[in-house]
Amino acid sequence: MRFLDGPDAARAVRDVFDDAGYTLGALTERLGPQAFTHLSAGELPPLLRATRAADRLDVLARLFLIGEPVTLGAARSALAPVPVEQWAAGELISVRDDEVVGLLVIRPLGEPGHRLVVHDRPDRSGAVRFDHVLGISASTMALAGATIRRPIEAALDLGTGCGIQGVLAADHSRRVVVTDVNPRALACATLTMELNDLAAVTVRGGDRFDAVVGERFDLIVANPPFVISPSRRYVFRDSGLPLDELCRSIVRAAPRHLDDGGYCQLLASWAHVRGEDWRDRLAGWFAGSGCDALVLEREALDPAAHAASWLRQGPPDQWAEFDEWLDDAEAHDVEAIGFGLITMRRRERGVPWFRAETADQDFAMPCGDHLGALFELAAFLERHDDAALLDVTLAAAPDVVLDEHRRPSEVGWAVAARRLRQTAGLRVEGDVDPAIASLVVACDGRRPLRQVLAGVADDLDMSAAEVTSAALPIIRRLVEQAVLLPGPAG
């Protein structure tokens, strides 16, 4: 299926939006800075008041953003020179007597390019169809902000939905393939690409990697239906596979479609199975994959909280499934369900590493550069054994600060606690003792590490060998987390 006859029809429709000044900036100015908050909460009165003048931009906003009917006369004027009948034939609007209703959301993105993204909207009761195509959600923006972006040859957006990740990948990729198993999602993604004149993006149907057999990419991104449940209500949410099998299968298959040095990044859920450490369980997903892998768990909910978090997002009748969700968790000995970001990088040589960490702190978006740096720093540490690391010049990353908390004491205000924290990227932070704080401060980028450790040893009245032995594992961890960075020679 498709919504318009082809690129020429889409180009004519795009001209209508451009002529009306239908951009994110213009709509935010017209509707107010809380416009999208109001939209997501179903709070229409502020948006209807802001568009009451009913000029061309107001009419387009009511049709394709707010979801409010307009009169046939207002629609003809706003949608010209493309006839109303052509918009209706393309299923972008519905005409009934003197009333016109927008059937799709056409949402503007910001710079660069003033892109438009096409997706479905729930009805007034909050109900959505089985093949509903999601728009720009919190998970959408989380994946977009965490994606490692660099100029590349080819990218794959697996389970594209409305096509947003493919649109973003097109800005730094020579060619992009977007795939989905949902025909309606393919239609939305096709219209998204045609409205933005993204000829370098190819839209294909298929389950997981079925549409790209034998092809390789420099970047694979995926926001799949990762929700762990027995439900089969929505294509965008429910995979139809047991537990976390969908996410595991993507991880297992992705390496065959990555070039050397290529990244695969996906949002995923995984089961915490009773009696088994979740990190060990996930390590098995990557065994023999030929990929370095970093798993960041953003949250872990007990089965009841997990079910509630998803069931409350839909119509009230979904709650009838609550017991079924919990029975399924009990049958599989699931004590918690984790959610987070998986990043893996293909390597042709060496022994791949795996790390799984809890990361419930707020990330500073975008953080893709920071994530990419973690893989580069892991490679740096792999090339430098302890002896070689001592000859490297290290310095605290520019985004790292050392907080000291003082409290009154008998001899004045004494330091009670010290905390290292990143102010950008993943925003890792943690308490440190005085010795580690002094060590980080001493890494000023001017002296090799062995000289820094010798100075610290003098200050502590300890032997250099003793300090070096104790400090090197900690220093490696600080480099691994991008708290300390090697100088140019490293």
The neighbouring-strand residues paired with 413 are 408
What CA–CA distances, in Å, run from 272 to 279, 297, 324, 328, 458? 9, 11, 18, 14, 47
Distance between CA atoms of 237 and 242, rounded to whole angstroms? 13
Identify the H or E element spanning 178.
Answer: strand 173-180
Q: What are phi and psi of 134, to 5 degrees?
A: -65, 155
pLDDT of residue 488: 72
Kindly report, residue by residue over 181-215, the tens digit of the pLDDT. 999 999 999 999 999 999 999 999 999 999 999 99
Q: Which of these CATH numbers, 2.40.50.140, 3.20.20.70, 3.40.50.150, 3.40.50.2300, describes 138-383?
A: 3.40.50.150
Return the percentage of the chain with pLDDT > 70, whole number. Answer: 100
Q: Using an 8 Å Cβ cutoff, are 188 and 136 in contact?
A: no
Distance between CA atoms of 52 and 54, rounded to whole angstroms? 5
Give strand ranges (E) for 377-483.
393-396, 400-409, 412-422, 429-431, 444-448
**Which CATH number does 386-486 carry?**
3.30.390
**Could you give the residue ranges of the DSSP H alpha helices within 242-334?**
245-253, 278-286, 303-311, 322-331
Angle at 107 between CA 104 and CA 113, to 5 degrees: 135
Is residue 5 scored above 70 in pLDDT?
yes
Sheet holding 201-205, edge to edge: 201-205, 173-180, 152-158, 217-222, 258-273, 334-346, 291-301, 354-358
Better pLDDT: 123 or 305: 305
Q: How far is CA 52 from the centre of its chain?
A: 36
> Where in the chain are all domains bearing CATH 3.30.390?
386-486
- Largest Cα–Cα distance in the chain? 89
Q: How many helices and strands, by DSSP H and E, does the chain display?
A: 19, 19
Q: What are phi and psi of 173, to 5 degrees?
A: -125, 140
Is residue 490 scored above 70 in pLDDT?
no
Kindly report, residue by residue over 304-322, the tens digit of the pLDDT. 999 999 999 888 888 999 9
Contacts of 408 (CB under 8 A, 6+ apart): 414
Distance between CA atoms of 177 and 173, rounded to whole angstroms? 10
Kindly report, residue by residue over 7-26, the tens digit of the pLDDT. 999 999 999 999 999 999 99
* Mean pLDDT taken over the chain: 94
> 45: closest CA among 31, 63, 60, 28?
31
DSSP per-residue letters across 20-53: TT--HHHHHHHH-TTHHHHHHHT--HHHHHHTTT
Is residue 489 scored above 60 in pLDDT?
no
Kindly report, residue by residue over 81-95, the tens digit of the pLDDT. 999 999 999 999 999
Kindly report, residue by residue over 251-292, the tens digit of the pLDDT. 999 999 999 999 999 999 999 999 999 999 999 999 999 999
Q: Using an 8 Å Cβ cutoff, are 70 and 100 in contact?
A: yes
Distance between CA atoms of 404 and 416, rounded to whole angstroms? 7
Kindly report, residue by residue over 290-302, the tens digit of the pLDDT. 999 999 999 999 9
Distance between CA atoms of 156 and 174, rounded to whole angstroms? 11
> Where in the chain are all domains bearing CATH 3.40.50.150?
138-383
Sign of the dihedral defined by the CA atoms of residues 302, 303, 306, 308, in that order: negative
Distance between CA atoms of 411 and 265, rounded to whole angstroms? 53
Residue 308 DSSP label = H
Identify the H or E element spanning 293.
Answer: strand 291-301
Contacts of 180 (CB under 8 A, 6+ apart): 159, 160, 161, 186, 189, 205
Query: What six digits make up the tokens of 472?
Result: 């090197």
Better pLDDT: 176 or 112: 176
Kindly report, residue by residue over 352-397, the tens digit of the pLDDT. 999 999 999 999 999 999 999 999 999 999 999 999 999 999 999 9
Return the percentage of the chain with pLDDT > 90, whole number. Answer: 86
Distance between CA atoms of 407 and 393, rounded to whole angstroms? 35
Kindly report, residue by residue over 233-249, the tens digit of the pLDDT. 999 999 999 999 999 99
pLDDT of residue 384: 96
pLDDT of residue 340: 98
